[in-house]
A and B are shown apart, each in its own frame.
Chain A
Amino acid sequence: MSHHTPSPILRYVARPTVPFIQLYALYVLGHGEDGPGGGFQGGVIFAASIVLLALTEGWPYGRGQLKRGFTDALMPFGCLVYSGVGALCLLGGGAFLGYEALTTSLDPHVRNHMHHYGLMAIEAGVMITVTSSMLTLFFEMSRPEPGDPWELDEEDEAGGQHG
């Protein structure tokens, strides 16, 4: 961070908005059924909040929030959640992603509820994968290069690589 001093005005405007953007991302995830949105859109909005942090606080700070090893692990984890819920439905005797099979109850009210929970679980899996994929794309494409005014310090580079 030594070469690069972000504008204080931008920092004080951008920093407080980040938690609100993240909260809105969760709202978009939760209301995917009866509003615009769902897992993909929520994930993109969540990733945008971290991109905003990286733009205003510098690349190393943004990457420090979600380290490379963490996002690399999250990408397959989201797929695992998705396919895991689908496989659980298979184990329950239903079709792949047939959420009603997740409960043994025959009460239509309970089965309807289970449908919502199953849908929410796979949407959360989609959101995790999309967020980490978007952040990986952004951080690897904007990685500072030698000779760049935004050049990394030695310890920042190490943290970005192995953290």
Chain B
Amino acid sequence: MNHVYIAATVTVLFGVLVVLRRVILGPTVHDRILAVNVIGTKTIVLLALVGFLYGRPGFFLDIALAYALINFIATIAVLRYMERRAALRSRGAANLAEEDDQ
């Protein structure tokens, strides 16, 4: 049974590598954020698999749950920051344009 868990873990790790390519190359910030979020989801599965591999699923599933909750909030926080920065920039540009008119 251990072989099945090891094979599954390696497969998920390969999936992380594939998505990591998008994090590094991602043309826009949104590609990178989405890719990091996918890696977070894969990490949750990875934690569960490692828990079964070590024979202590209860312990690792608790960590996986906590990680799922925190990861979700972190993604929202980063997106919120970008939205706010874009709004500040557009407002700053509008103010500059008004000053030019006067």
A55/B73 in contact, CB under 8 A: yes
- Interface residue B29 (Cβ < 8 Å from any Cβ of A): no
Chain B positions within 8 Å of A14 at CB level: 76
Query: Known contacts being A148-B88, A149-B87, is A24 close to B65, with CB within 8 Å?
Result: yes
CB within 8 Å of A: which of B54-74? 58-59, 62-63, 65-66, 69-70, 72-73
Interface extent on A, as a size class?
A: 20 to 34
> Secondary structure at chain A's binding surface: helix, strand, loop or mixed?
helix
Question: How distant is B13 from chain A, measured CB to nearest CB, in Å?
Answer: 22
B62/A36 in contact, CB under 8 A: yes
Q: What CA separation (Å) do A114 and B78 show in the bound complex? A: 45
A149/B88 in contact, CB under 8 A: yes
Interface extent on B, as a size class?
A: 10 to 19
Query: Known contacts being A149-B87, A149-B91, is A10 close to B63, with CB within 8 Å?
Result: no
A48/B88 in contact, CB under 8 A: no
Chain B positions within 8 Å of A48 at CB level: 69-70, 73
Question: How distant is B44 from chain A, measured CB to nearest CB, in Å?
Answer: 14
Q: What CA separation (Å) do A11 and B70 show in the bound complex? A: 17
Query: Known contacts being A28-B62, A35-B59, A35-B62, is A52 close to B76, with CB within 8 Å?
Result: yes
Question: How distant is A70 from chain B, measured CB to nearest CB, in Å?
Answer: 22
B66/A149 in contact, CB under 8 A: no
B63/A36 in contact, CB under 8 A: yes
A37/B62 in contact, CB under 8 A: yes
B73/A51 in contact, CB under 8 A: yes
Q: Can you list 16 contacts pairing A with B, beta carbon distance less than 8 Å?
A: A21-B69, A24-B66, A24-B69, A31-B62, A35-B59, A36-B66, A37-B66, A41-B66, A45-B70, A48-B69, A48-B70, A52-B72, A52-B73, A52-B76, A55-B77, A149-B91
A residues lining the B interface (CB < 8 Å): 10, 14, 17, 21, 24, 28, 31, 35-37, 41, 45, 48, 51-52, 55-56, 147-150
